[in-house]
Amino acid sequence: MKRVFALVLIVTMLLSIAGTGIATTEVLRGTLVIGGSTTVYVVTVLLAERFMEKYPDIRVETHSVGSTAGIVGANEGTFDIGMSSRWLRGDEPGWGLTEFVVYMDGLAPIVHPTNPVRDLTMKQLKKIFIGEITNWKEVGGKDMPITVIIREEGSGARGAFEDIVHEDIDPAPTLILVGTGGVRAGVAGDPSAISYITPVAVDETVRALTVDGVEAIAANVLAGTFPIIRPALFLTKGEPSPLEQKFIDWVLGPEGQQMLEEMGLVRVR
Amino acid sequence: MNKYREWVIEKSLVAAAMVSLIIIAFIIITIFRTGLPLIAEEGVFHFLFGMEWRPRREIFGIFPMMAGTLLVTILSMLISVPLGILAATFLAEVAPQAIRSILRPVIELLAGIPSVVYGFVGLMALVPFIRIHLGPPGFSMLAGAIVLAIMALPIIITIAEDAINAVPKTYKEASLALGATHWQTIRNVILPAARSGILAGVVLGSGRAIGETMAAIMVLGNIPAIPDSVLDPIRTLTANVALEMAYAAAGPHRQALFATGIVLFGAISILVITANRLRRGQQL
Amino acid sequence: MISAYTKEKIAKLALWLSSFVILAVLLGIIAFVVVRGIGVIDLEFISSMPRRGGREGGILTMIVGTLAIIAISSIVASPIGVAGGIYLTEYAGRHPLSKVITFGADWLAGVPSIIFGLFGFAFFVVFLGWGFSILSGGMVLACMILNTIIRTSQEAILAVPVSYREASYALGATKWQTVSKVVLKSAAPGILTGVILGIGRAAGETAAIMLTAGSFMFRLPTSVFSSARPMSLHLYILAMEGVHPGAIARAFGTATLLILVVIIANLSSRAIMSYYTRTLRQER
């Protein structure tokens, strides 16, 4: 009996090796259209670049159109893989999309480097963004009106920030600027401004605030102690096709996750 | 045989000439087909005069954008109309040939520079300038008006110059013969005679300002609210479409953006028709 | 009371000043961009692929994307535009249809590019299923530059002396023979300037392209159904998404190239035009 079992095992193993052998000789080729979140896009283009070096027969087209459009695009078939930087919400979970969490990301409140304020509580953040606090002196800063800069409608960062920080209340912005770079440049140029971006994009032109005393760094995002966190999602309609699966597997595999870590992101595998 | 061939050729030329009309028809059909249902559902009044634009809550009121478009266009015309008419008069009446041959290409070049380049310069130079010298946030109606004024200038100058040149030389000669100075002649005879043509230029110039998209997004700050001062940010109708179109899912939001397009298209059409009638010198 | 003489002086001064302001604005814009952008442009910048999301490397794919979209739009729009121009000048006469068609072309010229974008998105991208592609973008641009080509062809054909046509008819040529062999041949350079100006406009167009051609930039396009990102859109994305100093430097480089394209287009169309009018005058 044991022998039979061993034989079956060996045969299965051989078959599976043969199977994978066949699969790898059969070269996957084609075009993979990926679109969505502008935040995840920045990361995905770098991943796609490396992936295409490795698999020259696969062309990965990446489009930066925003999370909502990425989710809808994956559902409508405009994109093979949709990118989102927020969880699905509203009707979206019912559309039959498969979610792959690629990495976890925080959203750091940013201010001008000359702003003396270093920390805000979640409550203060909420009040600032919905317009109940309008002057920096109310949160321990200088006496100057706050320039509240938010992202454009449909941005995943905006969606996630609204969901987490001020839930059901609409924001009361001073400016709406386009893209991570847009809001960062806006804050960099205005001593009284506040906005939010992924910690990865924080550079010397702006200062990231701590929230409730917690710094927006990878370890705190992973531990869940930093309060404003959101996922980076890949979405496929139903189960991924072999081509889609190949890219997703590679991104979630050691090579992709290693790249993410090098970019300062929080790997999920 | 030859006759048949000539007939076929003539008909295909007619067909080619009709293409622009066909495109207009297609534009109208596609935009109205997507946008009208939403206007019908929201109600024309609510859509046009609603003060709030909150796509996430499916509240679609475009009044702040209509006001923003109108205000920034008026402000830009306050800058570009006097400058444009002066320059057109200069080109037609005063400029020596040598200066004219420098200015003409300059104006063509101004017309040819892509709007995204204007927006980029506005973003990198004008916005910080306004922020530092006039106060934050810099992204403002004023920044937009200056950029749009520069973009509308070539149209105003070109059409106004044509209109001035079209004034019969005898008018001018008669005025000068009566002892009027050159400037008196320009002011009292030539410009009034060219009035409707100049006005056509102003109308088409405002059309350019209203229709401009990229430069508007880049410098206006995009807040859908009615501004209190020229230093406040605004959002134009064009910016509304361009900002959110890429994000908008098929559904009410996308429909609302097409509906914004309908309003924009309507406004531009009225301007084009007005300019057309003015240029033919008809009384409105 | 200021004397008429003083007024004349002040007015002339204002007229001269207006043109210097315009000249200064153009030079200021060009200088601002070129001074910071020219250093970025070298052989590597225009001949290598972008790396690391556009922060490093060149803009080869963007240049190819621009060329591909321009090629499609000019190949589609030129024959239609020229044929339309021929019909309006040679065939239509005082036919009421000609008025309608001319108005249609003017109308089309006034339609904002974002409306073309909405139309192109709804029609080419979604309805015809061409997706975000060079073909969708090229077709939309073809619609946009049609008016330029119709108008300049019209002017060029009108400039051909009537005596040429009369001579041709006297020799027993049919209308089409006259038009194709005599009129078009002499009008060709003028028509070419229209096409070049159309190309100049197409190269800088952004808003319509944003909604139709997508924004992919890491591989060269393999077919007309590939997505492409032209230089103008690349500039916009770098300016707005540029989270890296390398990106801003490349934005200035790209803006400089766009301005160069427009300058070259304008200079070459001027050169052709002046050559053309000279030869016409000589022949007459």
**Domain presence at residue C266:** yes
Burial tier of A21 (Cβ tally within 10 Å: 0-12, 13-18, 19+): exposed
**Domain presence at residue C17:** no
Distance of CA A203 to the CA centre of its chain: 18
CATH of the domain at C250: 1.10.3720.10
pLDDT at residue A116, as a whole number: 94
Query: Cβ of B6 and C235 within 8 Å?
Result: no
How large is the ipTM? Answer: 0.91
User: What DSSP element (H or E) covers A20?
Assistant: helix A2-25
What residues 182-211 of chain A have any CB closer than 8 A to a CB of chain B? 186, 189-193
CA distance A161 to chain C (A): 19
Tally A–B CB contacts below 8 A: 75
How many residues are given for chain B?
284
The dihedrals phi and psi of C27, each to the nearest 5 degrees, come to -60, -40
d(CA A88, CA A228): 16
Secondary structure class of B6 (helix, strand, coil): helix
What residues 207-236 of chain A have any CB closer than 8 A to a CB of chain B? none
Q: Does C48 touch chain A (CB under 8 A)?
A: no
C partners (3+ CB pairs within 8 A) are A, B
pTM metric for this prediction? 0.86
**Domain presence at residue C9:** no
Residue C22: both structure tokens together: 């315009």
pLDDT at residue B204, as a whole number: 92
Residue of C11, C146, C265 with shortest CB distance to B112 = C265
Cis peptide before B168 (omega within 30 of 0): no
pLDDT in tens, chain A (269 residues): 445 545 554 555 444 444 443 444 456 778 898 988 877 887 898 899 889 888 988 888 888 777 888 898 899 888 899 999 888 888 888 899 999 999 888 899 999 999 999 999 999 999 999 999 999 999 988 999 999 999 988 788 888 899 899 887 888 899 999 888 889 888 988 899 999 998 888 888 899 999 999 998 878 888 888 999 888 999 999 999 999 999 999 999 999 988 888 877 777 76
* Total of domains in chain C: 1
d(CA A7, CA A10): 5
CA distance C20 to chain A (A): 32
pLDDT at residue A22, as a whole number: 41
B204 chain-C contacts, CB cut-off 8 A: 110
Query: Cβ of A42 and C53 within 8 Å?
Result: yes
Domain of residue C217, residue span: 38-283
Q: Does A115 touch chain B (CB under 8 A)?
A: no
pLDDT over 70 at C82, yes or no: yes
**Domain presence at residue C214:** yes
Which residue positions in chain B have pLDDT lower than 50?
A: 282-284
Query: Cβ of C215 and A49 within 8 Å?
Result: no
Q: Report yes or no: A65 and A36 within 8 Å, Cβ to Cβ.
A: yes
d(CA B211, CA A21): 59
pLDDT in tens, C206-261: 999 988 887 777 677 777 888 888 889 889 988 887 656 778 888 999 999 999 98
The mean predicted confidence, pLDDT, of chain C is 86
**Domain presence at residue C178:** yes
**Domain presence at residue C13:** no
Query: Cβ of C235 and B116 within 8 Å?
Result: yes
pLDDT at residue C93, as a whole number: 74
pLDDT at residue B25, as a whole number: 94
pLDDT over 50 at C280, yes or no: yes
pLDDT over 90 at C162, yes or no: no
pLDDT at residue A19, as a whole number: 42
pLDDT at residue C272, as a whole number: 84
d(CA B261, CA B34): 10
pLDDT at residue B233, as a whole number: 94
**Domain presence at residue C23:** no
Full 3-state SS string of B88-153: HHHHHHHCCHHHHHHHHHHHHHHHHCCHHHHHHHHHHHHHHHHHHHCCCCCCCHHHHHHHHHHHHH
**Domain-wise residue ranges, chain B:** 48-283
Nearest residue in chain A measured CA to CA from C125: A78
**Domain presence at residue C3:** no
d(CA B81, CA B156): 7
Pairing label, strands B59-60, B53-54? antiparallel
pLDDT at residue A24, as a whole number: 44
Residue of C131, C237, C243 with shortest CB distance to A201 = C243
Nearest residue in chain A measured CA to CA from C240: A182
pLDDT at residue B248, as a whole number: 67
**Cα dihedral: B6, B10, B16, B20 (round 10):** 170
Cα separation values, A179 from A83, A85, A171, B89, B243, Å: 15, 13, 17, 44, 10
**What percent of chain C clears pLDDT 70, i.e. is strictly above it?**
94
Domains of chain A: 30-105+231-267 (3.40.190.10), 108-223 (3.40.190.10)
pLDDT band with cut points at 50, 70 and 90 for residue C144: very high
Burial tier of B228 (Cβ tally within 10 Å: 0-12, 13-18, 19+): exposed
Domain B48-283 CATH class label: mainly alpha
Residue of B14, B117, B276 with shortest CB distance to C33 = B117
**DSSP bridge partners of A64:** A36
